[in-house]
């Protein structure tokens, strides 16, 4: 089944594509600043039952300043920065990020009769270490709207290779989601259980991903980025009666340019 769905899904992919498309420019010796625009398309595999994939075309817009970065609904503000000849650059950032994991009973037959799970807004802090071609990022974000009352912590390591105008960035990451967060989006409450959908109380989850991205500035005066990410989900998610997969792939292509 091929679907184009939900404005919140478009916003999520816009943020993903735009932040990725700008990453190469941020790592440049002199990173440009100002407003950006562009276009992108993403293809997502879903792990909820009733979905196979989403094809998501979208426009992109954002802003990058000396301390403030806005990529769609993702906001980062640099709180502190240190440069050390041995350690490299260290940044501490405040972050806001929407969580687009919500659903209602119209999204799939598997949700019929369930209470709506709301999208939310996460807030927290992150730290980034960058030395030569290596970048290590860690962040912890909590539900600021008290929908799930959960938290998620992420750790990601990436390495940047350059060959002429082409930048290649492999990365690996792990995330830890608390039981409150996982149960809110993947659990089934007692009053939602049916003969085909058992009661399920989800625990905390460790999830993993590997990714590979290609970036180049040679097309139409902007930055073009192609990326692929493969995600592995914890058993507390894949064992949910709402899901029928334990892995998923995201492919995205984007082009963006500063005004």
pLDDT in tens, 225-258: 999 999 999 999 999 999 999 999 989 888 888 8
Q: How much is the pLDDT for 115?
A: 94
Q: How confident is the model at residue 106 (pLDDT cuts 50, 70, 90)?
A: confident
Q: How far is CA 238 from CA 135, 147, 176, 244, 248, in A?
A: 30, 22, 15, 7, 11
Q: How much is the pLDDT for 61?
A: 83
Place of tokens 């594509």: 17
CATH number for 121: 2.40.160.40
Q: Please report the DSSP string for the chain in residue order.
A: -EE---HHHHHHHHHHHHHHHHHHHHTSSS---EEEEEEEEEEEE--BTT--EEEEEEEEEEEE-SSEEEETTEEEEEEEEEEETTTEEEEEEEEEEEE---B-TTS-GGGTTPPPBPPEEEEEEEEEEEETTEEEEEEEEEETT-SS--EEEEEEEEE-EEETTEEEEEEEEEEEE-HHHHHHHH-B-GGG--SSS--B----EEEEEEEEEEEES-STTSEEEEEEEEEE--HHHHTSTTB--SEEEEEEEEEEEE-
pLDDT in tens, 149-205: 999 999 999 999 999 999 999 999 999 999 999 999 999 999 999 998 999 999 999
Share of the chain above pLDDT 90, in %: 57
| Structural domain boundaries enclosing 115 | 2-258
Q: How many Cβ atoms sit within 10 Å of the Cβ of residue 234?
A: 20
Q: How many domains does the chain have?
A: 1
Q: How far is CA 224 from CA 38, 40, 170, 218, 252, in A?
A: 10, 9, 16, 8, 11
What's the pTM value of the predicted model, to 2 decimals?
Answer: 0.83
pLDDT in tens, 158-173: 999 999 999 999 999 9
pLDDT in tens, 48-91: 998 776 677 777 788 889 899 887 678 999 999 998 877 789 99
């Amino acid at each position: 089944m091929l679907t184009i769905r939900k404005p919140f899904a478009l916003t999520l992919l816009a943020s993903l594509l735009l932040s990725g498309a700008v990453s190469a420019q941020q790592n440049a010796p002199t990173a440009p600043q100002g407003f950006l625009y562009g276009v992108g398309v993403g293809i997502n595999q879903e792990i909820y039952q009733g979905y196979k994939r989403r094809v998501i075309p979208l426009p992109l817009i954002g802003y990058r300043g000396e301390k403030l970065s806005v990529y769609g609904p993702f906001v980062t503000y640099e709180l502190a920065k240190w440069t050390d000849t041995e350690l490299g650059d260290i940044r501490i950032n405040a972050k806001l990020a929407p969580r687009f994991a919500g659903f209602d009973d119209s999204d799939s037959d598997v949700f019929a009769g369930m209470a709506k799970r709301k999208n939310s807004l996460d807030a927290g802090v992150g730290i980034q270490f960058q030395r030569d071609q290596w970048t290590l990022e860690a962040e912890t974000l909590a539900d600021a709207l008290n929908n799930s009352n959960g938290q998620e912590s992420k750790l990601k390591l990436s390495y940047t290779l350059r060959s002429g105008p082409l930048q290649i960035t492999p990365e690996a990451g792990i995330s830890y989601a608390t039981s409150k967060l996982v149960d809110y989006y993947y659990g089934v409450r007692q009053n939602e259980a049916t003969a085909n959908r058992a009661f399920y109380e989800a625990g905390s989850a460790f999830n993993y991903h590997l990714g590979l991205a290609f970036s180049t500035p040679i097309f139409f005066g902007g930055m073009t980025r192609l990326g692929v990410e493969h995600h592995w989900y914890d058993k507390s998610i894949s064992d949910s009666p709402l899901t029928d997969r334990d892995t998923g792939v995201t492919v995205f292509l984007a082009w963006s340019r500063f005004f």
